[in-house]
Amino acid sequence: MDLKSWPLGWPGAQKETADAVRYYGLQDEAALRAYAGNPLDLLAPIAAAKIPLRHVISLNDRVVPPEQNTLEAQRRLARLGHTLDLVVVPEGTPESQGHHFPLPEAFASARFIMRHSGVLPQGREYFALRDGLARSQTAFEQRKTGRVAFLGGSITYNPGWRDALMRYLQQRFPTTEFDFVAAGVPSLGSVPHAFRLERDVLARGPLDLLFVEAAVNDHNYDGQTNAALLALRGMEGVVRHVREVSPRTDIVLFHFVHDQHLATWAKGEVPYTVAAHERVAAHYGCPSVNLSLEVHERIAAGEFTWAADFRDLHPSPYGQQVYAHSMTRLLDAAWPQTTPAIEERRLPPPLDPASYSRGRFGDLRAVDFLQGFGLDPSWKPGDGKGTREGYVAVPALVATTPGAAFEFRFTGTGVGLMITSGPDARTIAFRIDDGPEHTMNTATPVEPEPAPALGPHARGRPAGGRTHSPRSGGGRRPPGLPTAPELTAAPASVPCFLRGQSIVLCFFLPAHQTGFRRLDPRPRGQSCPYH
């Protein structure tokens, strides 16, 4: 940083001294010694511009002594109201006179560059820290173990940002042993997340950190009059359930971008799925990242295009890196070098008392088989068509004849079914207790296509023993969403496979179970095959 220190101050640098004289267009060494354009002389504009600086030095460096170079620069910058981030190595190698040394804190230095090299289109970040992530940081740093779950749809299931975050965590906490729970299931949104949370996430044991996303797949509710309400009830169901059984778990919400979000943001509006999930995040103090808005504003700023670069709501590798970069910026801000104090976490009143915070999968073995249905403990279709992981090799109730029927009893305020379906699927009829019978067409127009789950709802009736009686019909109706009042408030909207001439009911989803208990996590590796 000062030519008088090096090369002029080091006896072994005669060649470098001659090169410097020639490079700067000077006459001799005396002119070089009087030169006033050293980096040490040019710190004022750097300080005025607040350019981030980070230096790695060895304290016993005799070639470029830190006292005459980096430490002097730090003192001058301080007088100018600026800072210099220092990484100090006590001793360099003897053979290099202390000048060479293994680079320490490589991950932190890389994060320093990443943190300060990004340009924000509107000059502001896209994350909100809220109550932060101090609990998970404490667990990772002090206990040296961590369980981290990734709950979402296909964007979480696919390789990309999830892999980047796992690498980040392993590098940020190199002495911590992590158990990563991959709970991404393609096409599922927040409502089915709320019902499968116990089986797919919490059954693994105590959880330190949960990443959850559903802003794309909650558009499965588009066209329903209560779409925004379902998005809120589903996401609150996930967050509140976790808070009730594991108050120390940190939760981060990611709002991924749907292609229709771009037009919504351009009109100055907020997509309903993002708005609903942000309400939940703010209410429960969860950090969140609005990746949907970030992608829109970066496209508007001309940084990249949707068609050629990001490509789809399932991002290209480039788009996955846009996501990962934003996520790790949040984590950098949430996990400072010193662990912050942890305040007691209090559970607030629910945003919506009808959220699915007590949803879970019911037990297929408890069904009363009336006629035509059978329990297949590991169902797979037999038509030779393609399938998707997570939707096959699961317990299922299967019927292939019209008029097949069964009953099951539940206690709560709502119930739903996850089904497989297709363009030649049949109509299901159902009723609750002695109520009227309703029908629902399970057909979808193309293969494969997400389809709504059967979701008869009995909201407002007192909890108690009730009977739900579905049966398969023989007729077919044009595809369309149900309009019966009991269905418009359905607790689930899920993707289904296409299967002809049959009805496959995968799971029951009772909501708001009475006698709800704190989760007793199973030991790692212990499975629960039927619920």
pLDDT in tens, the chain (531 residues): 999 999 999 988 999 999 999 999 999 999 999 999 999 999 999 999 999 999 999 999 999 999 999 999 999 999 999 999 999 999 999 999 999 999 888 888 888 888 888 789 999 999 999 999 999 999 999 999 999 999 999 999 999 999 999 999 999 999 999 999 999 998 899 999 999 999 999 999 999 999 999 999 999 999 889 999 999 999 999 999 999 999 999 999 999 999 999 999 999 999 999 999 999 999 999 999 999 999 999 999 999 999 999 999 999 999 999 999 999 999 999 998 777 778 889 999 999 999 999 998 888 887 877 788 888 888 887 777 777 777 788 888 888 788 888 888 777 777 777 877 666 667 888 888 888 888 887 776 654 433 334 343 333 333 344 555 666 654 433 333 222 222 222 222 222 222 333 444 443 333 332 222 222 222 333 322 222
* Through-space distance between the first and last CA atoms of the chain, rounded to whole angstroms: 66
Peptide bond into 353 cis (omega under 30): no
Q: Could you count the other beta carbons within 10 Å of the beta carbon of residue 22?
A: 9
- Axis crossing angle, helix 227-245 with helix 272-284, rounded to the nearest 10: 30
Contact predicate 60/92, CB 8 Å: yes
Q: What does pTM read for this prediction? A: 0.78
Give the Cα separation of 509 and 455 in Å (integer): 9
| CB contact set of 196 (below 8 Å; sequence gap of 6+) | 183, 185, 188, 361
Pairing of strands 54-58, 85-89: parallel
The helix/strand/coil state of 44 is helix
Give the Cα separation of 152 and 215 in Å (integer): 10
Element holding 87 (H helix, E strand)? strand 85-89
Q: Report which of 173, 93, 117, 113 is spatially closest to residue 140, judged by C-alpha positions.
A: 173
**In 338-372, which positions are buried (b, 16+ CB within 10 angstroms) versus exposed (e)?**
eeeeeeeeeeeeebbebbbbbbbbbebeebeeeeb
